[in-house]
């Protein structure tokens, strides 16, 4: 092997990697926040007795879960402008990530909602709670504690999915690596470093989700 390792390209362009990492984290957090809202609304529709809302949620979930994320990204960024909806690369990245995460989290949240015994809902209604309050306090919180590990796993996948948005020139971490590689051809050093940064980001997200679990769902282990 005649290859000579040279990591100076990393140190000399550390600002580029740092900026890309911050964009990746920002895209991830915003998309996950909006996606979780979509997931909760979707789960509410999926468990609704209203057939239209139920089928609407099913169509959304099936359409997103059975098509490639890259195609969804291209449709939003390249396809929507034909309908007069023009988005920047970052806006399209956030929207596509949120829609994709929302579809998967819909089914995860739905499973959690359906794990709550109907007697608890009936008790809440009997005590005078409004249906929305019953869903928020009696159904949603315990449901989230039940499906939290699965939801965290999907969050990690959403973070890793951000690497795809470089295909529409969203200036994330992968985009930064591709840009630098096209000028230095130090592929091993660049993509090895990017892998380590993604690993660090995932560990950061896992630490954050663990803190959230300890803060809001600690009670759940006493119920099991």
Q: What is the SS3 assignment for 2?
A: coil
Q: Please write the tens of the pLDDT for every residue from 53-69.
A: 999 999 999 999 999 99
pLDDT score of 121 more than 70: no
pLDDT tens sequence across 77-100: 999 999 999 999 999 999 999 999
Mean pLDDT of the region 23-48: 93
Residue 207 has pLDDT above 60, yes or no: yes
Q: Residue 113: pLDDT band by 50, 70, 90 thresholds?
A: confident
**87 or 48: which carries more pLDDT confidence?**
87
**CB-based contacts of 42, cutoff 8 Å, min separation 6:** 57, 60, 61, 102, 103, 105, 106, 109, 110
- What is the homologous superfamily of the domain 27-223 according to CATH? MetI-like (1.10.3720.10)
- Region 136-163: mean pLDDT is 85
Name the least confident of 1-5, 97-101, 146-150.
1-5
Mean pLDDT to the nearest integer, 109-117: 82
Domain ranges of the chain: 27-223
The pLDDT score that the predictor gives to residue 34 is 96
Query: In degrees, to the nearest 5, what angle opens at C-alpha 44 toward C-alphas 165 and 160?
Result: 20
Per-residue confidence at 126, pLDDT binned at 50, 70, 90?
confident
Residue 30 confidence (pLDDT) = 96
Band of residue 112 on the pLDDT scale cut at 50, 70, 90: confident
Kindly tell me if the per-residue pLDDT of 224 is higher than 70. Answer: no
> Angle of helix 173-184 relative to helix 187-216, nearest 10 degrees?
170
pLDDT(9) > 50: yes
The two three-digit tokens of residue 157, written as one number: 């996948």
């Amino acid at each position: 092997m005649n290859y000579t390792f040279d990591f100076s390209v990393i140190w000399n362009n550390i600002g580029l990697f740092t900026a890309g990492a911050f964009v990746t984290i920002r895209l991830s957090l915003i998309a996950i926040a909006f996606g979780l809202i979509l997931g909760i609304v979707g789960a509410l529709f999926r468990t609704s007795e209203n057939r239209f809302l139920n089928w609407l949620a099913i169509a959304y979930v099936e359409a997103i879960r059975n098509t490639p994320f890259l195609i969804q990204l291209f449709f939003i960024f390249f396809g929507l402008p034909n309908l007069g909806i023009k988005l920047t690369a970052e806006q399209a990245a956030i929207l596509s990530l949120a829609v994709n995460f929302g579809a998967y989290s819909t089914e995860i949240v739905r499973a959690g909602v359906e794990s709550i015994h109907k007697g608890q809902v009936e008790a809440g209604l009997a005590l005078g709670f409004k249906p929305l309050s019953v869903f928020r306090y009696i159904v949603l919180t315990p449901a989230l504690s039940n499906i939290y590990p699965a939801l965290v796993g999907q969050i990690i996948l959403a973070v890793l999915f951000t690497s795809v948005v470089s295909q529409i020139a969203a200036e994330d971490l992968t985009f930064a690596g591709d840009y630098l590689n096209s000028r230095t051809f130090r592929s091993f050093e660049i993509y090895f470093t990017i892998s380590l940064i993604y690993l660090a980001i995932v560990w950061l997200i896992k630490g954050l989700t663990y803190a959230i679990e300890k803060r809001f769902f600690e009670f759940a282990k006493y119920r099991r």
